[in-house]
């Protein structure tokens, strides 16, 4: 046995050694081969759809989305490194089949392609749905036959396209889901087919909330789309590794990734969006005080007024930023043409709906966009084939003033462009065929088309600019408050995707959303009902006794005024008894609610100090804030013009606190009530008195104050709410629901209550008889005094005339001043508008005037301005000619005309007269020239004075650019 074993053992060892070496060599060979084919350092090119949110998209160079997250999980599990190649589906599919890509993402299994493609197991299965425009419902779709009379949109080369075409359906193909969604929004197709999540996601981010999912697509077995990864059949090893990497992803992980994109916009569910300002930022906010934020009142659904209340998506975003940062906000409502100059001159601090342009960056700090919406061309012309601005040649095009693309439109469309001060006026012009096309953001335009019920409007196409994907809504902050822009940016980033979606869902239903606002049925929670039952459904409140017609007490001590009417409505809808706690003054009412002797204030404005002890509902009333002065007082541009002067305000009123923040130079004088303030103003002990337009009208009539007038407007309205004690949050919830339950009709009725209120004066007959007796005695003295009174009256009239002239006259040139311009410009414009006469506005500017001041001195400059004014008076002496010094070396001439050529010739003669005649000052000869910009036209009902002035200013700019000492003319219309 041993003999036999020995030789076999030697042979066996030899064989074993050779086998070991062979296996070792094979392993090395395989390892080397594997390293060549696919090691962790290998990159695999994979096609991924670039604009397929939320499945796959690109942010800069970063790939994002659910599918991208799945691919990143495969990378981690397999050691493969994907090189993402972006494109639309048709391009990617063609490149993949041509061998230019190793793999392709989001491909669905197709039996006819299995000879060329290896398909992984599906990592996601999604149902295919139909989407419609809610304004053009397609009805109930149960089978493919129901689609035969419709234009159906699909993505090019999608797997179910052949099924639709084979069924005789009119199929329109588009290169991506975003293009598909826009085609539906613009009315180019009647219905689209695609994945529910993708279509809804794209509609939401584009602001197309009127598009809705109507139901599952009737595609039978093909109604479910399976997302897989495809690999060419000649690379089975790559396919194996991708399949293994995919299989290693737990189903729970895929579900988490999907939920992350479906519900949270990509933010990790476990992420905590904590927001905290630094100590220096908190100090900045506290020292800043309330900021005035301009919000357009005609920009639905982003910001607009309804039922006297400013509301919309931008307003809600602003309120959320205020909550996060502690910033105190005073909303200022107006049109864009009003608000934009106010941001430039610092009258407001922030503008809420503003797009970024290079020109605006010179005076504005911008936040990141909080919403981006597409701009489109609305038209009633069925023949317009819109392919960009160049295709609008020969069409009259409407835009709103100072929109970020205004310069581009004027450059390309030219004189056929009409600029409007409001969107409503622009769409009214479209309705009455005064313009052929209007350019507007899609949700805004849809709102006005529905609101004005304009027939036959269609969307001709999308307005796209290379540097603007759409209208980017941002907060624009005046440059001197740059740190505020950074703080708002941080707060915007802290608003969670879910919060933002909630805000968007609330408002981006355009007119439908606005119709339902303010009509919420009152539904109190069990907790709120229990709270009321514990108090026998009785709640106490305090008011301001002397703030009529908003609120006050009548002769019997009963609560009357607007807030009394509001509380009557609240009581009727809730069966709550509201019991008045009487006080002697407004400061005492504030003290009573702070000491918890009453539960709330019926009508109060939110201020930083009051939030210590009060909670506030949303405002249910907004009233303009004004400044009164004596009849001889000049009009003021802003509150700062009253610096170092005594300005009255009722003690404890909200604007006392806010004005002290903003205008520390004012000498605020607190009075006990409105009556005292008015009398102090009448007695000339105050230079101004701050109050509301409503209460001013009431008291001026009641007290017979003929020598008091409105001299200015504070750029912030009184936003009046119900204020509840802060230690009873349940009460706040109840009152908020009552405020929300007010219908639009009730809100309108409340607003008209103060606008239309009449003053009824009772007759005291005892006083009448006393006066008769006095009259008999006085008759004997009448003759004596009559002559003296006549003389005094003549002197007084002469003095009043002189004061009136001084208040509207420029001291240096004796032409009209800015107050004169403000008073006469609109009157002259409206006269032309009514009588269909030509209106001409000329902006006149002295050329290189600074060099005159620098060379000869400011006295010489003043002398030149007087000479210019004298020459202007000689050339414009007609009854309708109006001349004013606009500021510095700039003047405005405005007048009516019958012959446009004649007004141009008069201006040219005036310009030549200035250039031909030098003036002498201090023995030195000074030459002066002027540049003139002229705007002419016959004002239409939709036009505004500001549009003429703006066009004249643009013409003046051209005159300066083209060499000065020239007249440039622009016509709005003839």
pLDDT digits (tens, 9 = 90+) for 766-795: 443 444 444 445 444 454 445 544 554 554
Kindly report, residue by residue over 577-612, the tens digit of the pLDDT: 999 999 999 899 999 999 999 999 999 988 777 888
- Among 247-261, 667-681, 768-782, which stretch is predicted with the lowest mean pLDDT? 768-782
CB atoms inside a 10 Å sphere around CB 926: 17
Largest CA distance in the chain: 170
Kindly report, residue by residue over 857-867, the tens digit of the pLDDT: 888 888 999 99
In this structure, are residues 628 and 581 in contact, taking their beta carbons and an 8 Å threshold? no
Greater model confidence, 882 or 790: 882
Q: What region, left, alpha or beta, does residue 922 occupy, with left being phi > 0 and alpha being psi -120 to 50 degrees?
A: left
Greater model confidence, 479 or 307: 479
**How high does pLDDT run on average in the chain?**
80
C-alpha–C-alpha distance, residues 335 and 342, integer Å: 11
Query: Tell me, what's the pLDDT at 165?
Result: 92
889 is catalytic: yes
Instruction: State the residue for tokens 């230019």.
Output: 100
Sign of the C-alpha dihedral computed for residues 73, 79, 85 and 88 taken in this order: negative
Kindly report, residue by residue over 68-85, the tens digit of the pLDDT: 899 999 998 988 999 988
Residues pairing with 468 in the sheet:
465
Q: Where are the beta strands (DSSP E) in 479-574?
A: 538-542, 546-547, 551-553, 559-560
Asked if pLDDT for residue 760 goes beyond 80, the answer is no
DSSP 452-490: HT-TT-EEEEEE-BTTBSSEEEEEEEEGGGHHHHHHHHH
Active-site residue (options: 451, 889, 890, 974): 889
Asked if pLDDT for residue 8 goes beyond 50, the answer is no
C-alpha–C-alpha distance, residues 415 and 825, integer Å: 24
Kindly report, residue by residue over 506-536, the tens digit of the pLDDT: 676 433 333 333 344 578 888 889 999 999 9
> Which of 489, 722, 470, 711 is closest to 621 using CA atoms?
722
- Among 184-193, 347-356, 709-718, which stretch is predicted with the lowest mean pLDDT? 709-718
Token reading at 969: 């003319």
Q: Which helix (H) or strand (E) holds 417?
A: strand 417-420
Token reading at 499: 């919060």
Query: Tell me, what's the pLDDT at 30?
Result: 43
Query: Tell me, what's the pLDDT at 939?
Result: 87
Query: Tell me, what's the pLDDT at 722?
Result: 94
CB atoms inside a 10 Å sphere around CB 33: 11
CB atoms inside a 10 Å sphere around CB 745: 11
Query: Tell me, what's the pLDDT at 91?
Result: 85
- Strand 546-547 and strand 551-553: pairing? antiparallel
Helix (H, G, I), strand (E, B) or coil at 834: helix
Asked if pLDDT for residue 934 goes beyond 90, the answer is yes
User: Highest-confidence range of 7-11, 539-543, 860-864, 954-958, by mean pLDDT?
Assistant: 539-543
Kindly report, residue by residue over 570-586, the tens digit of the pLDDT: 998 888 999 999 999 98
Percent of the chain topping pLDDT 90: 28
Query: Tell me, what's the pLDDT at 60?
Result: 57
Q: Which helix (H) or strand (E) holds 563?
A: helix 562-574
- Among 131-135, 189-193, 451-455, which stretch is predicted with the lowest mean pLDDT? 451-455
DSSP state, residue 809: B
- Among 311-320, 359-368, 659-668, 739-748, which stretch is predicted with the lowest mean pLDDT? 659-668
Angle between helices 945-961 and 818-835 (to 10 degrees): 110
How far is the CA of 811 from the CAs of 114, 808, 862, 866, in angstroms? 91, 9, 11, 10
* Omega within 30 of 0 (cis) for the link into 301: yes
Greater model confidence, 183 or 26: 183
Query: Tell me, what's the pLDDT at 579?
Result: 95
Asked if pLDDT for residue 374 goes beyond 90, the answer is no
The arithmetic mean of pLDDT across residues 169-176, rounded, is 90
Token reading at 149: 């009379």
Query: Tell me, what's the pLDDT at 869?
Result: 92
34: Cα separation from own chain's centroid: 59
Burial class (CB in 10 A: 0-12, 13-18, 19+), 769: exposed
- Among 282-291, 373-382, 637-646, 745-754, which stretch is predicted with the lowest mean pLDDT? 745-754
Kindly report, residue by residue over 936-956, the tens digit of the pLDDT: 999 887 778 888 888 998 899
Kindly report, residue by residue over 29-65, the tens digit of the pLDDT: 444 444 334 334 478 999 998 877 778 877 656 778 8
Query: Tell me, what's the pLDDT at 508?
Result: 65
Greater model confidence, 946 or 184: 184
The arithmetic mean of pLDDT across residues 414-431, rounded, is 89
C-alpha–C-alpha distance, residues 534 and 522, integer Å: 20
Question: Helix (H) and strand (E) counts for the chain?
Answer: 31, 48
Q: Which helix (H) or strand (E) holds 230?
A: strand 224-232
Query: Tell me, what's the pLDDT at 540?
Result: 96
Query: Tell me, what's the pLDDT at 468?
Result: 66
The arithmetic mean of pLDDT across residues 713-733, rounded, is 84
Asked if pLDDT for residue 713 goes beyond 80, the answer is no
- pLDDT grade for 197, boundaries at 50, 70 and 90: confident
Query: Tell me, what's the pLDDT at 758?
Result: 37
Asked if pLDDT for residue 676 goes beyond 80, the answer is yes
Asked if pLDDT for residue 384 goes beyond 70, the answer is yes
Query: Tell me, what's the pLDDT at 203?
Result: 80
- pLDDT grade for 694, boundaries at 50, 70 and 90: confident
Query: Tell me, what's the pLDDT at 158?
Result: 84
Contacts of 387 (CB under 8 A, 6+ apart): 461
> Which of 518, 398, 504 is closest to 454 using CA atoms?
398
Burial class (CB in 10 A: 0-12, 13-18, 19+), 879: exposed
Asked if pLDDT for residue 286 goes beyond 70, the answer is yes
Contacts of 425 (CB under 8 A, 6+ apart): 942, 944
């Amino acid at each position: 046995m041993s003999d036999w074993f020995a030789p076999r053992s030697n042979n066996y060892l030899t064989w074993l050694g050779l086998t070991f070496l062979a296996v070792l060599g094979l392993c090395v060979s395989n390892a080397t081969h594997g390293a060549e084919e696919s090691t962790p350092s290998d990159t695999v090119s994979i096609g991924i759809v670039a604009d397929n949110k939320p499945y796959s998209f690109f942010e800069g160079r970063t790939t994002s989305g659910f599918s991208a997250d799945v691919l990143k999980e495969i990378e981690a599990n397999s050691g493969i490194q994907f090189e993402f190649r972006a494109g639309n589906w048709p391009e990617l599919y063609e490149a993949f089949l041509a061998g230019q890509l190793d793999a392709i993402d989001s491909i669905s299994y197709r039996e006819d392609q299995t000879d060329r493609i290896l398909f992984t197991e599906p990592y996601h299965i999604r149902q295919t749905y139909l989407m419609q425009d809610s304004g053009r419902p397609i009805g109930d779709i149960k089978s493919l036959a129901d689609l035969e009379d419709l234009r159906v949109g699909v993505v090019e080369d999608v797997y179910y396209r052949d099924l639709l075409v084979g069924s005789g359906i009119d199929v329109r193909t588009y290169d991506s889901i975003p293009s598909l969604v826009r085609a539906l929004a613009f009315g180019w197709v009647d219905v689209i087919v695609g994945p529910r999540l993708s279509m809804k996601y794209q509609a939401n981010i584009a602001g197309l909330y009127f598009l809705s999912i109507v139901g599952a697509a009737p595609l039978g077995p093909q109604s479910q789309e399976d997302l897989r990864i495809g690999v060419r059949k000649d690379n089975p090893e790559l396919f194996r590794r991708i399949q293994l990497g995919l299989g290693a992803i737990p189903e729970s992980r895929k579900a988490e990734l999907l939920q992350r994109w479906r519900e949270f916009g990509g933010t990790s569910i476990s992420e905590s969006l904590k927001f905290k300002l630094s100590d220096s930022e908190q100090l900045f906010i506290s020292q800043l005080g309330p900021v005035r934020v301009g919000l357009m009142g005609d920009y639905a659904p982003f910001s607009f007024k309804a039922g006297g209340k400013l509301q919309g998506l931008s307003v809600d975003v602003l309120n959320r930023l205020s909550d996060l940062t502690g910033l105190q906000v005073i909303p200022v409502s107006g049109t864009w043409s009003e608000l934009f100059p106010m941001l430039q001159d610092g009258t407001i601090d922030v503008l809420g709906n503003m797009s970024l342009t290079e020109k605006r960056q010179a005076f504005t700090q911008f936040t990141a966009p909080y919403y981006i919406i597409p701009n489109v061309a609305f038209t009633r012309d069925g023949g317009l084939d819109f392919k960009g601005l160049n295709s609008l040649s020969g069409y009259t095009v409407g835009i709103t003033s100072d929109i970020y693309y205004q310069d581009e439109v004027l450059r390309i469309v030219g004189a056929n462009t009409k600029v409007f001060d409001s969107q409503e006026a622009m769409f009214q012009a479209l309705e009455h065929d005064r313009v052929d096309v209007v350019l507007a953001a899609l949700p805004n335009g849809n709102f006005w088309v529905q609101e004005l019920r304009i027939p036959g409007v269609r969307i001709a196409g999308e307005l796209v600019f290379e540097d603007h994907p759409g209208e980017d809504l941002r907060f624009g902050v005046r440059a001197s408050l740059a740190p505020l822009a950074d703080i708002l940016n941080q707060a915007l980033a802290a608003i969670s995707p879910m919060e933002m979606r909630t805000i968007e869902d609330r408002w981006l239903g355009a007119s439908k959303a606005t119709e339902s606002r303010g009509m919420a049925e009152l539904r109190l929670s069990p907790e709120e009902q229990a709270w009321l039952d514990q108090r026998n459904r009785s709640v106490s409140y305090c008011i301001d006794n002397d703030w009529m017609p908003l609120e006050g007490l009548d002769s019997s001590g009963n609560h009357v005024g607007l807030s009394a009417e509001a509380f009557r409505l609240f009581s009727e809808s809730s069966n709550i008894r509201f019991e008045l706690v009487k006080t002697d003054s407004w400061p005492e009412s504030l003290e009573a609610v702070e000491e918890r002797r009453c539960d709330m204030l019926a009508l109060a404005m939110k201020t930083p100090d009051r939030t210590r002890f009060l909670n506030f509902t949303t405002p249910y009333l907004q009233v303009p804030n004004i400044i009164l002065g004596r009849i001889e007082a000049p009009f003021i541009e802003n509150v700062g013009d009253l610096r170092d002067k005594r300005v009255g305000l009722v003690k404890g009123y909200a604007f006392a606190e806010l004005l002290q923040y903003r205008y520390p130079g004012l000498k605020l004088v607190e009075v006990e009530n409105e009556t005292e303030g008015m009398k102090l103003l009448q007695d000339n002990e105050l230079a101004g008195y701050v109050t509301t337009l409503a209460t001013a009208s009431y008291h001026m009539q009641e007290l017979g104050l003929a020598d008091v007038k409105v001299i200015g407007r504070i750029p912030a309205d009184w936003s009046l709410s119900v204020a509840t004690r802060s230690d009873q949050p349940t009460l706040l919830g109840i009152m908020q629901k009552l405020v929300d339950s007010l219908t639009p009709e009730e809100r309108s009725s409340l607003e008209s209550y103060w606008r239309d209120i009449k003053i009824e004066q009772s007759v005291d007959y005892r006083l009448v008889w006393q006066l008769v007796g006095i009259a008999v005695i006085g008759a004997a003295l009448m003759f004596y005094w009559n002559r003296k009174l006549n003389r005094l009256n003549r002197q007084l009239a002469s003095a009043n005339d002189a004061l009136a002239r001084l208040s509207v006259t420029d001291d240096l040139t004796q032409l009209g001043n800015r107050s004169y311009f403000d008073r006469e410009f609109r009157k002259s414009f409206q006269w032309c508008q009514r009588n269909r006469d030509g209106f001409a506005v000329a902006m006149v500017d002295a050329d290189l005037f600074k060099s005159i001041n620098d060379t000869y001195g400011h006295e010489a400059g003043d002398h030149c301005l007087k000479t210019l004014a004298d020459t202007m008076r000689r050339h414009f002496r007609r009854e309708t000619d109006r001349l004013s010094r606009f500021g510095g070396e700039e003047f405005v001439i405005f007048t009516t005309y019958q012959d446009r050529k004649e007004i141009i010739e008069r201006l040219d003669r005036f310009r030549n007269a200035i250039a031909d005649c030098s003036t002498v000052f201090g023995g030195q000869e000074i030459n002066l020239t002027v540049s003139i910009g002229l705007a002419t036209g016959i004002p239409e009902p939709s036009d505004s004075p500001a549009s003429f002035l703006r066009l004249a200013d643009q013409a003046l700019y051209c005159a300066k650019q083209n060499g000065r000492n020239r007249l440039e003319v622009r016509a709005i219309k003839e």
